[in-house]
Amino acid sequence: MEMTPDMPRREPLPGDPPQASALGLAAAALRRRADERWVEVSDRVVSRAMTVTRRSQPIRAQASSGPIQVSEQVVISYLRAAIDETVPGFALAHVTLQVSARHELSAVVIQLIAQFGVPLLPVADEVRRLALRCLESVLGPTPTPVTVTSLHVHFSDVIKGPRGRLPTRAAAETPPRRG
């Protein structure tokens, strides 16, 4: 049974699998066919993809009007904006939030890529200070003290290169793991 009556036929060559010639002809026919409305369809696909939401845990926060909940993705976005490209010699690779069963922020892990030769401890202290200031502005005053273990700065890679700012990795962020 033919799907397209005007599809040219080719006899299989010796050594061809039985379906290879039909598959090759079908692929060639699809490559020749141009759909004029692909631009309209691609715009619709992109617009629908942009409206898809990502699941995110709520995090308890304290506003001046009372208790509220803030999305985990919102907190990560604010942390990225506060930290990325702030201190020269490193790039933000990934931010992970750990949220308790009671929807309270229990830990933050910030992974950085450092430039070779940049002192790591001062960068870690500065990133921790920036993250704490950001968390307090987004979530309100923290009920538990922030320590090195609850706000962990991890250097996941060290690279060679010219001193100064490294390229950011904001576009390559993967969804955080839930803790």
- Residue 62 and residue 47 in contact, taking contact as beta carbons nearer than 8 Å: no
The answer as to whether 145 is a domain residue is: yes
Give the residues across from 62 on adjacent strands: 67
Is residue 44 located within the same domain as residue 68?
no
Nearest to 138 by CA among 55, 66, 71, 93: 71
pLDDT, tens digit (0-9, with 9 covering 90-100), for 122-171: 989 999 999 999 999 999 887 666 677 789 999 999 988 655 445 544 43
- Threshold 0.85, pTM exceeds: no
Looking up residue 63, the CATH number of its domain turns out to be 3.30.70
Domain span holding position 41: 20-51
